[in-house]
Amino acid sequence: MSNNLSRADLPEGAAQTIERIYREWDRAWSEDDLDAMIALYAPDATLESPLVPHLLGGNVGVIKGREAIRELLEKAAPRKPGSRHFHRRGYFTDGSGLMWEYPRATPTGEQMDFMEVMDIRDGLIQWHRVYWGWRGVEVIKADAYYKDK
């Protein structure tokens, strides 16, 4: 991503598209609205996450296409904490990329640490990468990411 961009430097409509995807993705995930979430992805989108092999099996963390992404999200959604109040500080964009972090240390204690990175094309998520920090990886390894725990 380019350095020192402001919203005024973005191509026309890019700021609104990025904001819409950022807000709608968070809303859909928070409310378990998988149809709305899947609609944000391009039909041939790619998603990369350590949750892929953990929840779908295999040893590759990359899936492609809306149906594969839906399958992953259907398995991940029931494992989310019941109360989802993730701390974050906003997002970064250059008009085609979207990034935000969930830092481990927050004003109210610790949370799972990870970073979302998305490439946006034609108003849809084309590529989505999720990078997990050491605490998040420990949660995955312990299979401790459940709503009811």
Which residues constitute the domain of residue 107?
Answer: 11-141
What confidence score (pLDDT) does residue 142 get? 74
What pLDDT, in 10s, does the model give residues 87-143?
A: 566 788 988 999 988 766 655 666 667 789 999 999 999 999 999 887 777 777 777
Name beta bridge partners: 46.
64, 127
Q: What is the mean pLDDT of residues 27-51?
A: 95
In a domain, 40, yes or no: yes
What pLDDT, in 10s, does the model give residues 63-80?
A: 999 999 999 999 988 877
Higher-confidence residue of 148 and 46: namely 46
Rg (CA), the chain: 15
Burial of 57 (0-12, 13-18, 19+ CB in 10 A): exposed
Structural domain total, the chain: 1
* Residue 101 Cα distances to 1, 42, 66, 87, angstroms: 15, 23, 24, 9
pLDDT band at 36 (very low <50, low <70, confident <90, very high): very high
List the CATH number of the domain containing 104: 3.10.450.50
In a domain, 1, yes or no: no
Name the DSSP class of 88.
Answer: -
What confidence score (pLDDT) does residue 103 get? 64
> CB–CB of 60/68 below 8 Å?
no
> CB–CB of 49/129 below 8 Å?
yes
In a domain, 149, yes or no: no
What confidence score (pLDDT) does residue 9 get? 72
